[in-house]
Structure 1
Amino acid sequence: MTSVQDPDLDWILQIEECKHVGGSRIKVQGPSKVVALKVSPSVVCLLSHTGKDKLFACSGTIVECGGKESDGTFVGIILTSASLLRCPSGAASLAPDIKVDVLLPDGKLLQGEVFAYDFHYNLSVIKIRSDTPFPTPSLRNLDESIPVTLQPALNSTSPRHSDSFKIRPGDKVKALGRHYHSHSLVIASGSFTIGLCEFDCQELMMSTCKMGSQIHIGGPLINCAGEVIGINFYHERYTPFLPINIAYRCLEHLKIQRSVNRPWLGMELTNFYAVNLADMEKIVQKFPHISEGVVVEKVVKGSPAEVAGILPCDVIVSCGGHSVRCSSEFFGITWDKTRESVPVVVMRASCGNRQMLTIDVEDTSEHRYNRWPIPSTYLDMFWRSAEK
């Protein structure tokens, strides 16, 4: 991993103007451009066609490159959005007669091979070949846990998950994309934030990066060290992103078995530190030792969570025999336990009791697949601007 000497200083140094897609002017900080350039050689643009009709354009990241094949070529693995492949009707199915063009940073055009995809997590894997190796970026798992410590810890232990990037609300991030017409790198600046994401996907996190174009969709979200920490999607007010923890796990499953686990529990969760003050006070009054965990916000009627006896405001502190500090940890545990029964430990503030329950982790049926809306007017605007 390449570290930054002083992350705080790195993000506030000199500002200069640069040209942005469409001729508008944006502010890009000098050191931030250096960080973006660490990733830019692996950021590509993808265009899909069905027959003679243009279907979708987005960005992607070359996350892997294998050794030289028997034919002397190198194979690159691109991770991007499955919106690239989705049927024009919006159904969770592959568009007919689909072709994918891949534009490299130097403007070179390659034919992409649709290797695998998943419409629930909105991810697709595209293969490309070249006579030379493809550059790949550093990937870093996210750890968004923040202990709410009311008193000093009695014991000092080494931090867990040292291979993860510890992220906090307000930490600076960049959403990157590549424009298919000019081949230029496009950057949207913002910070990691907590709040209500309007998408179905429970695993999504949020940044305040505001996209000026759909071209950021499928592109990487990077931290201040130039490491890829997520895959971007589109919302007009913010940028939802799938943490690389989940995205790369999907990639590994797609490469091996062309499908992924899609755990469904039927509840909405938030991190303990993100609940409102009134609810947090009720919890710590009953359980003053709690500093981390995930809080249940909503339980779907008839869901595995309801059948297990989980209630809104329960704090899940353990799952499958592992302590739970944050939602990404919980999702990771349940991912591995899809179609299995898992013990969970919850702290119930309403009665002040510790509950030991068992929940069946169901596989998500197709009618419950996550929705990934992109306004059609926005797509039309993009194609018009790209054709100028």
Structure 2
Amino acid sequence: MSDSAHLEPPAKKRNIDPIAPTNHPWNLPAKVDLVHRCDRPEDSVLLIPREANLRIGAEAKRVVARVSQAVVAVASIDVHGHQLWRASGFIVEFDECSMTGTIFSSATVAQKIHMFPDIEKIKVYLFDGASYEATIKACDNHWNLLVLSVSFDRSVKTMNMVEISENRTAADVHLGGFMQQPHPACESLCSGDTIIGLGRLSEEPFGLQANCGVYSYERWSNLPRFCHEMQKATFINTYAAVGGPAINKNGQVIGMLFHDLDCTPFVPSNVILKWWEHFKKTGTYCRPTMRVFGANLHNVRSASWLKLPTSLYKGSDGFLVELTSRSVQLAGLQQKDLIVECNGEPVATSLQLFEILAENIGKMVEVTFVKAEDNSRRSVYLPVEEIPEGDFYSWPISQYDVY
């Protein structure tokens, strides 16, 4: 038998979807100097984990195999016919009558930047290399979400998205005896649960990337311009996986991947599904704000940058106010106040607060909070506004364009 008989067939004839091997941590440096001033020398550098990604075992491989063909590569094509920006995506809807599929990806792939060629079209690549031109149905630079519509010439697989409930266990050291009750309509996600990130390359052999880690309730970023609804997985993915799905151990999509140097942040499905539902109903994007920036109390307690007395709010959880607009301060809501209810519904996390605000854009909501100075419980009414373009979130897209 000749050597050519052992070669892998061309990508467009491949009927399996193997996980492409990747070397971690690719070409990332061992540490990165931080430019902002730090009080402690150990905070002046960011260490890049050498063993951040867990081994993908047999059970994880079976989960990946069930859903991998719904993971696609996405690329914008410039006027010269070259790939300009590349990302991943996942198919969430497919109509067998019209053979039309709906794909979620990152809006980064459709970005128009001065001094770069114009984008002529966006293409989607399946696991076997078959490519299709896509139509943009929605593109939101605040949430960095892109929705594409594709007319396929075959039936394609889809992925199931589920909302998550940020649950914690008695082993979580920052709870102070408080246990949050799980949201009955959401998939439970606890610190230490397995998360797998999937992505696909947009060139031969259109390989699948799969990175495994665990869910961490630790705060991803304390910068106001970064998405404070973002969740954190401990593995490190590549730039090409941005826009791909974060899945749980059952293969359900729990969010969309982004990129950072020492972990992988992801936007939860809760935000994506509310956003998409709102857009389909109204034709507008869902960008609610009360002009309040903060974090989950259990996240802040684990952050070294904010000195919060452990006795404050002991046995409680909620959304801790860190920055507010002048009008919100005048209404009575101040820094270190703890939001515990909104419109009579309990609030323990930023996701719960977002879901309530998303249903009340253009309306007034009653915000109930606990004052930091005396632990008294008070309420104010605040307007839910649309976030203006100048206040859109910034996004963790690394400058390392590596596979």
| TM-score band, normalised by shorter chain | 0.7 to 0.9
Amino acid at match of 1:195: R
In the other structure, the counterpart of 2:202 is 180
Say yes or no: does 1:169 pair with 2:169: no
Select the residue among 348, 366, 373 that pairs with 1:343.
366
Structure 2 match to 1:300:
324
Which of 243, 258, 282 is the matching residue for 2:268?
Answer: 243
Where does residue 122 of structure 2 map in the other structure?
100
Work out which of the residue numbers 312, 317, 320 in structure 1 matches 2:340: 317
Look up the SS of the partner of 2:334 in the other structure. coil
In structure 1, the residue matched to 2:29 is none
CA deviations 1:12-63 (Å, max 9, x no partner) are xxxxxx7524797984222111111222121000110121143211100101
Please report the TM-score for the alignment, with normalisation by the length of structure 2.
Answer: 0.78
What is the aligned length?
344
Q: 1 CA distance for matches of 2:337 and 2:190? A: 24
Query: For the residues of structure 1 that align with 2:385 and 2:310, how far apart are their CA atoms?
Result: 30
* 1:208 to partner: Cα distance: 1.3
1:56 aligns with 2:85: yes
What residue number does 1:123 align with? 145
Q: What letter corresponds to residue 244 of structure 1 in structure 2?
A: S
Q: Contact 1:145/1:326 (CA < 8 Å) preserved in 2?
A: no
Residue pairs, 1:71-220, within 5 angstroms: 74-89=99-114, 96-146=118-168, 148=175, 150=177, 161-181=183-203, 182-193=205-216, 194-197=218-221, 200-211=226-237, 213-220=238-245
Cross-structure match for 2:40 = none
1:256 Cα deviation after fit = 4.0
Partner of residue 6, structure 1: none
Equivalent in the alignment of 1:7 = none
How has the CA–CA distance of structure 1 residues 22 and 275 changed in structure 2, closer, same or farther, with 3 Å as cutoff?
closer
Describe the superposition over 1:124-162 as per-residue Cα deviations: whole angstroms up to 9, x where unpaired.
101111233321122111100448474899xxxxx7633
C-alpha separation between the residues in 1 aligned to 2:70 and 2:363? 38
**1:281 partner amino acid:** S
Q: Which moved more, 1:141-150 or 1:351-360?
A: 141-150
TM-score (norm 1): 0.81
Q: Is the 8 A contact 1:140 1:163 kept in 2?
A: no
Q: Is the 8 A contact 1:60 1:220 kept in 2?
A: yes
1:346 is displaced (CA, Å) by 0.4
Cα deviation 1:73-132 (Å, max 9, x = unaligned)? x110000100010112499xxx84431111111221111111111000000101111233
CA distance in 1, matches of 2:236, 2:210: 10
For the 8 Å contact 2:324–2:335, the answer to whether it is kept is: no
Gaps of 5+ in 1: 1-17, 154-158, 285-289
1:32 maps to amino acid: A
- Percent identical among aligned pairs is 26
* Larger fraction in helix: 1
Runs of 5+ in structure 2 lacking a partner? 1-18, 27-50, 170-174, 303-307
1:28 equivalent in alignment to 2:56:
yes
In structure 2, do the counterparts of structure 1 residues 124 and 307 end up closer, same or farther at CA, with 3 Å as the change threshold? farther
